[in-house]
Amino acid sequence: MIDLSRADVVFISYDEPEAEANFAHLQAQLPRARRVHGVQGFDAAHRRAAEGASDWVFTVDGDNRITDPAFFGGWLDVAPRDLGQVFSFSARNGLNGLCYGNGGVKLWPRVLLQDLRSHETATRRAGQLDFWTVPFYLINRVVSEVHMAATPAQAFRSGYREGVKLCVIRGQAPAEAYPYLPLPQAFAMHLGDVNLDRLRVWCSVGIDQPNGDWAILGARLGAVRTALDGTLPQIIADYPAFAQFWEKIAAQAADPAQRLDLSEALATRLDSAIGLALPRLDAEGSVQARAAVRPLRGSGPMQPL
């Protein structure tokens, strides 16, 4: 049994527009929370969170807002074989309603967190993109909500990152993983039903929300560049490089009509090349689709790459 009330709570922020408000909200609910801010590099920031920490450390991302503070005062019943893993809890995405580990709270063993080698220090491509080389135990309990569309830049970056990450499984894009299959079959085989559904939601739901069109554009562009164009995905882990990429896209799609045309062209490519069959939702349809999203149940380990 892990006593969650004794675990450190560390808020990790970099440039999230609502980070100050989210941290204030967190401290009001969990006064023991402390903050790591402005550390460049995902790996470096997380290792900083382990400094001076107890045996277990919660990490809360800068765009994340806790919705179940009582959870952090409870107990977690863990089998001895799982004590070396990171426990990943679901977060609800306020833009599209999806509930899964993206952006969610993580509970780390301090020894794993302080010895982390991922993202900018990883030697394998999969580890450069996310914590995919770390042993994770997924728990589909929603304890927070992600707010990732406060500005056009944040919304586009968040959508693009998920458009890439949902297409890259075990460090490979569909065409790499199944080079002898037609691309639609390779795509479906590689992603599986759950990731396919999540990608469709990212690429179609949220137009009714502020900056939702930017998030949808980002998700579509990330998927096209990764699954169809063979673009290397490492840019999602390099915020300075992504900022330059964003400036180009922002100039091309500054006008809403231009943005809509570009987004529609990307959706058409995804439909025709891999049969994604994206729905074109208006504001009312987006509201209904978000309300229909239901979180997964259950939990279990996810083997590292």
Position 4 scores a pLDDT of 96
Position 75 scores a pLDDT of 94
Amino acid identity, position 83 = L
Position 246 scores a pLDDT of 97
Q: CA torsion angle for 223, 228, 231, 236 (degrees, to 10)?
A: 10
Report d(CA 162, CA 102) in Å as an integer.
8
Position 298 scores a pLDDT of 59
Position 56 scores a pLDDT of 95
Position 115 scores a pLDDT of 81
Domains of the chain, first to last: 2-148 (3.90.550.10), 152-292 (no CATH)
- Asked whether 69 and 22 are in contact (CB, 8 A), the reply is no
Position 154 scores a pLDDT of 97
* The model's pTM: 0.91
Residue ranges, the chain, pLDDT below 50: 122, 303-305
Joined together, the tokens standing for residue 274 give 């891999």
- Asked whether 206 and 95 are in contact (CB, 8 A), the reply is yes
Report d(CA 135, CA 65) in Å as an integer.
25
SS (H, E, C) the chain: CEEHHHCEEEEEECCCCCHHHHHHHHHHHCCCCEEEECCCCHHHHHHHHCCCCCCEEEEEECCEEECCHHHHHCEECCCHHHCCCEEEEEEEECCCCCEECCCCCEEEEHHHHHCCCCHHHCCCHHHHHCCCCCCEEEEEEEEEEECCCCCHHHHHHHHHHHHHHCCCECCECHHHHCCCCCHHHHHHHHHHHHHHHHHHHHCCCCCCCCCHHHHHHHHHHHHHHHHHCCCCHHHHHCHHHHHHHHHHHHHHCCCHHHHHHHHHHHHHHHHHHHCCCCCCCCHHHHHHHHHHCCCCCCEEEECCC
For residue range 165-184, list pLDDT tens digits in order: 999 887 788 998 899 999 99
Position 300 scores a pLDDT of 59
- Asked whether 113 and 57 are in contact (CB, 8 A), the reply is yes
